[in-house]
Amino acid sequence: MNIALSRSDADKTANARGFLGRYQAIRDTLGDHGARDAAADWLSRHGLPRRTEEAWRYTDLRRLWDADRADAAAMPPAQAASMLAELTQAAGLDESWPRLVFVDGVLSAALSRRPDLVACDGLGRASEAAPDHPILALNTMLAADGASLRVADGVDAGRMLLITLGSGGGLHLRHRLVLEPGASLTLLEIAAGTGNYVNDGVIEIDVRERARLNHVRVQQDGPDSVSLSQVRVTVAGRGSYDGFNLALGAALARHEVRARLEGEYGIVHVNGAQLLSGTQIADLTSAIIHAAPHCSSRQTVKNVLTGKARGVFQGKIVVDRIAQKTDGYQMNQALLLSEEAEIDSKPELEIFADDVKCSHGATAGALDGEQLFYMRSRGVPEAAAREILVRAFLDDALGLVEDERARDVLERAVARWWDSPR
């Protein structure tokens, strides 16, 4: 496929050139050209987002512009195995849990342990929907691997791990997960790595009637990486999507959730915590669409920011005219541990129904000097007192994760973050 650009278009969209060139180079090795060409066409017309676009005002993707996206050498198997072993031990993961491990964007059969209760059919095929989002378009265009998972009617599939290890280049994984009626699963996703890479994983999820998904993510991508994850989920009647995203890694990260409540009495939770230091930026952007009556959505997002780090929260709740008796709640809080740390918080409520309960709130502040003094006056050293207060602040969010083992993985990650030099 050749993409013809007029001069004025080129000025605006040239910043996606590196990725488009990469697609041209590998197109013949990929299938499903219809969706990919459409995505490439979208990207060539729109380019990568700029901060002049409202949705990207607080998160600058400039570091992805124009960059040449040539082949990067994949991580040697021995390095992947030791990275996985280290991660497994540090996170306290159970060796018996089924897991799919992707190394530099490709499934590693050697490191994976296929689940018995979840059907896996390889690449999570992109949905037919036309791309409407730069990261979705990028992923659709370049995705070469991923998992297509299905939990059958009424089956409780327990816990399953989805692990992404990166060392260079682009990790464009495309996953699809279907929970049939009454099915349940705890999906624990961990992303880790080293080096300069882009991890733009997309997961499309169908939660059917009465199905329940606990989706817990630990984003600890390498310090020089860019992490751009997308969750697109639809929830049918009495279904439940309970998501938690812990953002610790990457130089620049954006986790985006688009959830649609399509049947009565559905539940969506988009909770999270962002723990950032240095010059890190992490963004949690969500859109929860209430398209049916009697549904509830909850968001509790906590930020702990040190150095010159910046946290971003953009939370949109849309309540369609039909979605009476909606119960929506959104809270974003930031603990600023340094003078130069920053939080940008943007709640948006668009309510078209007239009998709903929706509330949102945001707070930002430093540690409480009086609380610190109280603890120190009882003999607790200052550093320990600060840690106790930060952990208490995070507990409100971490405590929302129902699965005890998944919560334990999060708590270990928080403890590691606190103990690491910053």
Side-chain half-sphere CA neighbours of 209 within 13 A: 3
Residue matched to tokens 């041209």: 24
Residue 269 contacts residue 259 (beta carbons within 8 Å): no
Q: Which is nearer to another protein, 96 or 377 (CB)?
A: 377
407 touches another protein (CB under 8 A): no
User: Considering only residues 198-217, where is the footprint of another protein by CB under 8 A?
Assistant: none
Q: Are 170 and 22 in contact (CB under 8 A)?
A: yes
Taking CB under 8 A as the criterion, the residue among 109, 110, 366, 392 binding another protein is: 392
119 part of the interface to another protein, by CB under 8 A: no
Based on the shown chain and the rule CB under 8 A, indicate whether residue 294 belongs to the binding site for another protein: no
Q: What's the CA angle centered on 169, arms 97 and 64, to 5 degrees?
A: 115
Does 421 bind another protein (CB under 8 A)? Our answer is no
Q: Min. distance of Cβ 361 from another protein in angstroms? A: 16
Element (H, E) at 165: strand 156-166
Q: How far, in whole angstroms, is CA 251 from its chain's centroid? A: 15
Closest separation in Å from C-beta 387 to another protein: 10
- Contact flag: residue 384 with another protein (CB under 8 A): yes
374 binds another protein (CB under 8 A): yes
Helix (H, G, I), strand (E, B) or coil at 328: strand
Q: Write down the least CB distance from residue 366 to another protein, Å.
A: 14
Q: Are 248 and 277 spatial neighbours (Cβ–Cβ below 8 Å)?
A: no
Under rule CB under 8 A, residue 376 binds another protein: yes
Per CB under 8 A, 391 contacts another protein: yes
Q: What angle do CA 127, 270, 218 make, to 5 degrees?
A: 85
In the complex, minimum distance from the CB of residue 395 to another protein, in angstroms, rounded to a whole number: 5
- Min dist. Cβ of residue 374 to another protein (A): 4
- Alpha carbons 306 and 310: distance in angstroms, whole number: 9
Q: Report the residue number, 81 or 375, with the smaller CB distance to another protein.
A: 375
Pairing of strands 252-261, 226-235: parallel
**Residue 194: closest CA among 113, 80, 350, 114:** 80
Nearest to 270 by CA among 280, 278, 260: 260
Whole-number Å distance between alpha carbons of 214 and 269? 9
Question: According to the binding rule CB under 8 A, does residue 402 interact with another protein?
Answer: no
**Contact region for another protein (CB under 8 A) — 73-81, 276-284, 305-313, 390-398?**
390-398
Q: Residue 362 interacts with another protein (CB under 8 A)?
A: no
Regarding 85 and contact with another protein (CB under 8 A), the answer is no
Nearer to another protein, 67 or 380 (CB): 380
Q: Could you tell me if 307 and 277 are in contact, meaning their C-beta atoms sit under 8 angstroms apart?
A: yes
Q: Which is nearer to another protein, 109 or 384 (CB)?
A: 384
Assess 396 for contact with another protein (CB under 8 A).
yes
Residues that bind another protein (CB under 8 A): 369-371, 373-382, 384, 388-389, 391-393, 395-396
